[in-house]
Amino acid sequence: MKLKHKETQILHGLLIFGLLVSPFSFLKHPRKDWVLIFFMKCFISSLVDKITVSCGWIEYPVRLFPRFLKISVLFDYLLFPLLCVWFNQTSYTSNMKSILLQAFWIYSLPVTIFETWLERKTDLIRYKRWSWFHSLTSLAATFLLVRGIMGLIRRDSQISSCGSSD
């Protein structure tokens, strides 16, 4: 599939943005947490996207590597995982109300608005049996899922370190 000029510019711009901000996203401690979050989010995003595309809910008419993958590689393997890292960094010491506020309003809503704009104005994404509401809730749910898993990992790690003798 031949990429259209406008879509190509958007994809390349987002790719350059993601690659430029990536190194700065992992400077804060604990770095191992951010790397784990990044890869966990890659896995979850690609799985969810594979399901939505396979079920015919979403389509990506113009995408990177169209001969190999039907999902949005750029979003699933770079942009969304970076957003999840940033969400986890900003909510690291937050209470539940703040975590929910950030997940829905600070992170998921702007992405949903941008995605909806892309769906209406470009051929990068096409909603078939999908809507902005599905995007908003699935984005927030996956942010919260990864945050919850990391909370369990941190708790288990603290429990393990308390029981070990140094």
Q: What is the pLDDT of residues 50-61, one digit of tens each?
A: 999 999 999 999
User: Per-domain residue ranges for the chain?
Assistant: 5-23+30-161
Q: What is the largest CA-CA distance in the chain?
A: 61
pTM value is 0.91
User: Is 77 buried (19+), middle (13-18) or exposed (0-12) by CB count in 10 A?
Assistant: buried
Each residue's pLDDT tens digit, 109-119: 999 999 999 99
Average pLDDT of span 151-156: 92
**Residue 148 clears pLDDT 60, i.e. is over it:** yes
